[in-house]
Amino acid sequence: MNELIKQLDETINREWAVIKAGRFWTQVMSEPVPGELYRLMMEQIYHYTRYNSVNQAAAALRTSPERRRLLKFVYKHAAEELGHEAMVLHDLKSIDLLDNASLQDGPLPPTAALIAYLTQVAMEKGAVARLGYSYWAESCYDHIDTLLKKFRSDLQLVDANMTFFVAHSEIDAGHSAEVLEAMRAAEPTEQEKADIVNVARTTLYLTGQILERVALEHAERQQGDLKLAA
């Protein structure tokens, strides 16, 4: 198990390094954050968060009933994730950035890909493999803390405007320990260990692609506005 955790951490750190060298991260950290860029990012979080509880619960279908501790984690976690997208809507509304028409446009392509991939993992691999996603998602705040502080500073946000991130930073501290416990209780086979690492790598890669597409989409919209103004 120690070797699995080491491999997971190394894989996740590599993917975060790529994300932090990308267009979105570089722009946010080097320039004042436009409200529209933040809105686009939060909309993508809304879209995939809507399905996190569902695909977590669906993962039980491909999980042996004998893995009771793992299934208890799945059921509990699925229930706790239910409705968290409402916090995104609250946060956007609190700073006058909620755009219901834009939400109706649906997720950007990499966001749709992340949703579809997690559904596929749940239905084909089950709860053990999906732990790769939970492992990094529940312990990402060490990586994104500087990003969140920049959002706070540039957009003058307080905790009441960031309930999604504030609540998750508190909830996920407990969840992270539960993920490790579930992973150990599952006693994964060598193939399942490989699946866990692959799911971690793929989901974090897709998350990075979401951020890159948000930056591209924002730039294209800005160009379009400039052309209209001209």
**63 secondary structure, DSSP code:** S
* Phi, psi for residue 84 in degrees, rounded to 5: -65, -20
* 63-73 tens-digit pLDDT: 999 999 999 99
Give the amino acid at 33: V
Give me the pLDDT at residue 170, please: 66
Which pair of tokens denotes residue 13?
């750190």
CA dist., res. 42 & res. 93, Å (int):
11
Q: Which of 20, 40, 23, 31 is nearest to 212 (CA)?
A: 23
pLDDT digits (tens, 9 = 90+) for 18-49: 999 999 999 999 999 999 999 999 999 999 99
pLDDT in tens, 113-126: 999 999 999 999 99
**Measured between alpha carbons, how far is 140 from 204 in angstroms, rounded to an integer?**
10
pTM greater than 0.75 (yes/no): yes
pLDDT band at 223 (very low <50, low <70, confident <90, very high): confident
Crossing angle of helices 127-137 and 109-124, in 10° steps, is: 140
Q: Give the CATH fold of the 2-229 domain.
A: Heme Oxygenase; Chain A (1.20.910)
In this prediction, residue 1 carries a pLDDT of 81
For residue 226, pLDDT beyond 70: no
